[in-house]
Every structure is written in structure tokens, then in C-alpha cells.
Amino acid sequence: MDSFKIRGGVPLRGDVTISGAKNSVLPIMAATLLTPEPCVIRRVPNLSDVKFMGEILRSLGAEVAFDKETLTVKAERVNGVGDYEMVRKMRGSICILGPLLGRLRKAKVSLPGGCVIGARPIDLHLKGVRALGAKTRIQGGYVCVSAPRLTGAEVFLGGRSGPTVLGTANVLMASVLAEGVTIIQSAACEPEVVDLANFLTSMGARIQGAGSPTITVHGVKELHGAEHEVIPDRIEAATFMIAAAATGGDVTLHGARTDHLTAVIDKLREAGVRIERSGALLKVTRGRKLKPVDVTTLPYAGFPTDVQAQMMVLMTLTPGISIITERIFESRFMHVSELGRMGAEIAIEGPSAIVKGGAPLSGAPVMASDLRASAALVIAGLVADGTTQVNRIYHIDRGYESIDDKLRSLGARVERVEEP
Ligand code: EPU
């Protein structure tokens, strides 16, 4: 297993290009199952999750070809079984359920199960497809859905923690080939949902309102092949912005969509980080003095849960008390104890982490528990005195394209080594 050895203390300086969004490309890849015609997807990030989704599509019968940042999928014939061995490795693969149901009118997909960031229920996905006329049954760890006829309906997808991103994607992908009109209420508004809707529209789907809580779909008989360029990864952009601020550096981001980063930019500015936009470039410097801020994660356009761990590292460096409240996933604080091993003072009170910032971080061996926690530990390592070894970085390779190369190009001392 690989790990990162980081010698901290170097301010990041230079330019970095933001890759395509992982959480856009995964459902978009699943959507290619909706047509027998070839689809071409551009700006595809080279990530283990993307390769893995490619494997899933192959296991379902599709031809999948990667050529650098371009991916071609032709799903001429599709079988409807998403195997346990496949789905359990990546919870995001549940988004094959909607397109399989849309295309084949039936599917059998392994239930994803929980993970370190909390339970990952799919009750809302199932509620949505049931509203379209599908029967759902859990058997042997699989969810089996079938609908001789899929018919448009009004579907409310709000849950305990707000809307569901992949639930919205699944219902959207099932409804584009349903008969009649589907209205998804309390739909997720994330840019990744809009990106998926844009791809589906270019395949011939009729969708209105994506990006708002009400999405209306007029079902069509069939979809055709299409070409699409994936949006830039707003979470990768936010991670580099925070890394630049945390190290007291000066980094210019190329290709980030500032309109997708409003809540992050607003919070970072409140914390004293300087962010200047010039055309498509975003320049991030620390500013004179960091200030503690309170952050609550919320569905889009609120502060993203996927940036909570990274923001917490910045607050450990900021003198004063910051309160970081996680409202999306119940146990997304696995990074707290690892940051504690580096000297951070953080106490958990229910859904909130109380960060007493200002104490210097010191390098230590730490263990990554999930993708975003790993990114946070890497940022902490970049700032800490001495050497930090971040173990189990296969998590980070799932969602950050060549992060070690990108960090090294900004001056960071990061090496990929064998885990001891
Ligand atoms: N939820 C339910 N029932 C459901 C579905 C979700 O109660 O049927 C709850 C979840 O337990 C959670 C909340 O709703 O409390 C939101 O979960 P959501 O369904 O929106 O999460 P997701 O679609 O499974 C995607 C991203 C996550 C990201 C979340 C929230 C992908 C592949 N994954 O997950 O990304 O954190 O939306 O924005 O798009 C990551 O990239 O590190 C990551 C975990």
C-alpha cells in the first residue's frame, strides 16, 4: 500500500489546473447505459474511482475506452446486474440503478452498505423509483427493481439531511425514459446534478429546472449518443485553495468555476484568506491574519460536507475557537483523532467539532480513513513541523488526480512511498 511522506513548512506557490469533477463524471458514466449509441465524455479525471466505474460498465456489457482525458462508452447490449464485488468497493456505483431501470425496466444492484462517514441509506432512491411504478425488493444483499411500465409522477426526495445527490441522479436517469411527466421535488441542486442533466439533455432528454429544487422531466422514447465535457471539480479546487491558505502560499487556480464555489470563497474570505478572481483564474493568498469562523455543512449552495475536513485543518492553525458543524453525514469526523495526533486541539460535541486553533502542528504518522479526511491530513502535513506520513492514501487516489504531482509542482515536499 502507498503512503505519502510529507516534509512540511513550504508555502505552496505557483499555478495548478483543476481536473474534471469526480462526482459529475461517475453518474455521467452511468448515464451512458441509457443508450446503445456511443457517448464521448471529455475532461475525465484519471482517478481510481473512474477506472472502477469503467470496470462496472464493462461488467454490465458496455465497451469502454479511455484515451487520456477522453472516455468513450458504447453500451449496445446491457445486462442488469451490479455485482456485490463491484458495488461494495465504491458507494457511488449505486447510480447505475436508475439508468439500468430506465433502459431495461429491471435491475439488480448490490446494496452499497455504510462506510466510515456514516450510514449510506438508499431509501430515497427506492422511494423515487417506486413513485415511477417500479417494484423494489431487497434479497440477498441486492436491491431488485422492476417496472414493466415506468410512468412519470410527482416525487418528493427530501430526507432527514435534505435532498440526496445520487438519489436525484438515479430518479432523473430512470425518468428520462418514463412515459409522461415526472416532477422531482426537493431535488438536489448540486452542480453535479446540473452537469448530469446537461449530458442527458444532449442525449435527447427533456429536462427543466436542474439546479433548482424542482426538476421536471418529459419522458422520451429513446436517447441517442452524445458528447460532453465534465465540469471542473469544485472540491479539488476548494482543497487547493485551503492548502494555499494553510501554508501561507500564493497559488493560482486554472479552470475552477467560481460560481460553484461561492460558499467556500465566502467562508475563506471571512477567515481572512485573500481570493482574487481574474477571468478564469483564481489567486489565493493567506492575507495578513487568519480569523476563526463557524462553518455548518449544508446541501448546495451551502458549505459542502466534502470540504469540512480540509476547512477544519485551516481552523486548527487559526488562533481562537471555531465551531464546525456537520449536517450531512453523521460520523464524518474520523480525521479529528488523527489531527489530534499532530497536536490539533479539537473536541467533538454531537454534530459539532470545537476547534481551539493556534497550536503548531507537528508531523506524525497518520492514517487516512476516507477521501476528504485524507486530503485534510495531507494539508496538515504540508503545514506541520517535521515529517508526516499519511498512510492508506489509496483513498486520496480515488478522488484527486495526481495530487502528489500537483503539490510537488507547487513546491511541496511530498513523496509517494511504500507503507512501512
Ligand atoms: N440519505 C438518505 N437516504 C437516501 C440517500 C441519502 O437518508 O436514500 C442521506 C444520507 O445519509 C446523507 C444525506 O442524505 O445524510 C445526503 O446524502 P447524499 O445522498 O446526497 O450523498 P450521496 O449522493 O451518496 C454524494 C457524493 C458525496 C457527497 C454527498 C453530499 C458522489 C459519488 N458522492 O453522495 O461525495 O459527500 O453527495 O454532497 O457524488 C466524496 O466525494 O468524498 C463524497 C463522499
Does the pLDDT at position 306 exceed 90? yes
Q: Are strands 70-74 and 63-67 parallel, antiparallel or unpaired?
A: antiparallel
Catalytic residues: 115
Residue ending a domain, among 204, 223, 242, is 223
Return the closest-CA partner of residue 98 out of 48, 139, 46, 147.
Answer: 147
The rounded Å distance from CA 148 to ligand 1 centre is 29
Number of structural domains in the chain: 2
Residue ranges of alpha helices (H) inside 158-257 are 165-175, 191-202, 234-246
CA 354 / ligand 1 centre spacing (Å): 24
- Which protein residue's CA is at the shortest distance from atom 36 of ligand 1? 306
What is the distance between the alpha carbons of residues 410 and 239, in angstroms, rounded to a whole number? 14
pLDDT in tens, 68-109: 999 999 999 999 887 777 777 788 889 999 999 999 999 999
Per-residue confidence (pLDDT) for residue 92, from 0 to 100: 86
Torsion of CA 375, 376, 382, 384, to 10 degrees: -150
Are both 32 and 58 inside the same structural domain?
yes
Q: What is the pTM of this model?
A: 0.98
**Residue nearest atom 6 of ligand 1, based on CA coordinates:** 164
Same domain, 118 and 236: no
Residues 251-269: pLDDT tens digits?
999 999 999 999 999 999 9
To test the ligand 1 pocket, which listed residue (19, 22, 23, 307) has its Cβ within 8 A of the most ligand atoms? 23
| Contact of 249 with 285, CB cutoff 8 Å | yes
Could you tell me the three cell numbers for 91? 458507494
CA distance 41 to 230: 7
> Among the atoms of ligand 1, which is closest to the Cα of residue 118?
11
Does 119 score more than 80 pLDDT? no
pLDDT at 408: 98
- Whether residue 38 is found in the same domain as residue 185: yes
Indicate the pLDDT class of residue 114, thresholds 50, 70 and 90.
Answer: low
Same domain, 194 and 258: no
- How far away, in angstroms, is 302 Cα from ligand 1 center? 14
Q: Which atom of ligand 1 is nearest to the CA of 95?
A: 32
Is 302 found in the same domain as 213?
no
pLDDT at residue number 420: 75
Region of residue 372 (left: phi > 0; alpha: psi -120 to 50; beta: else): alpha
| Domain that includes residue 278, residue range | 2-19+232-418
- Closest atom, ligand 1, to C-alpha of 300: 38
**Structure confidence by residue, pLDDT tens digits, 328-343:** 998 899 999 999 999 9
- Among all chains, which residue has been given the C-alpha cell 468555476? 257
Mutate which of 125, 129, 166, 168 for ligand 1? The one with the most ligand atoms within 8 Å of its CB, which is 166
From 24, 117, 164, mutation site for ligand 1 pocket: most ligand atoms within 8 A of C-beta: 164
pLDDT tens profile 396-413: 999 999 999 999 999 999
Mean pLDDT computed over every residue of the chain: 95
∠ CA 4-353-350, nearest 5°, is 125
Both 242 and 363 in a single domain? yes
CB neighbour list of residue 164: distance below 8 Å, 6 or more residues apart:
124, 125, 157, 188
- Ligand 1 — pocket residues by CB below 6 A? 23, 26, 92, 119-125, 159-161, 164-167, 188, 305-306, 328-329, 371-372, 399
Question: How far does residue 272's CA lie from ligand 1's centre (Å)?
Answer: 30
What 3-state DSSP class applies to 73? strand
207 shares its domain with 291: no
| Residue 165 Cα to ligand 1 middle (Å) | 6
> Which residue has the least CA distance to atom 16 on ligand 1?
164
Looking at the structure, tell me whether residues 15 and 77 fall in a common domain.
no
The amino acid that residue 327 corresponds to is: R
For 17-26, what is each residue's pLDDT tens digit? Answer: 999 999 999 9
CA of 358 to the centre of ligand 1 (A): 32
- How far apart, in whole angstroms, are the C-alpha atoms of residue 174 and residue 168? 10
Kindly state whether residues 202 and 247 are assigned to the same domain. Answer: no
- pLDDT tier for residue 186 given thresholds of 50, 70 and 90: very high
Can you tell me the mean pLDDT for 143-160?
Answer: 96
Going by alpha carbons, the residue nearest to atom 39 of ligand 1 is 23
Any idea what the CATH number is for the domain that residue 373 is in? Answer: 3.65.10.10
Per-residue pLDDT at 288: 80
**Residue 113 pLDDT exceeds 70:** no
What's the confidence (pLDDT) of residue 369?
A: 87
Average pLDDT on 183-195 reads 98
- Contact partners, residue 381, CB within 8 Å, separation at least 6: 4, 6, 8, 342, 363, 366, 388, 390, 414
Closest Cα to atom 31 of ligand 1: 23
Where a domain ends, among 198, 223, 248? 223
- The CA 4 to ligand 1 mean position distance, Å, reads 27
Which residue owns the Cα nearest ligand 1 atom 18? 164
One domain, residues 249 and 206: no
Residue type, 236: E
Q: Which of 166, 189, 223 is the endpoint of a domain?
A: 223
Per-residue pLDDT band for 368 (boundaries 50, 70, 90) equals: confident
What is the tens place of the pLDDT at every residue in 233-257?
999 999 999 999 999 999 999 999 9
CA 398 from chain centre, in angstroms, equals 10
Closest residue by Cα to atom 11, ligand 1, is 120
Cα(292) to centroid of ligand 1, in Å? 28
C-alpha cell read off for 384: 506541520
* Straight-line distance from the first to the last Cα atom of the chain, in angstroms, rounded to the nearest whole number: 9
Q: State which ligand 1 atom lies nearest to the alpha carbon of 235.
A: 41
| Same domain as 164, residue 306 | no
Q: What is the pLDDT of residues 16-72, one digit of tens each?
A: 999 999 999 999 999 999 999 999 999 999 999 999 999 999 999 999 999 999 999
Probe target for ligand 1 pocket from 115, 165, 394, with the most ligand atoms within 8 Å of CB:
165
* Closest alpha carbon to 323 in 351, 291, 295, 349: 295
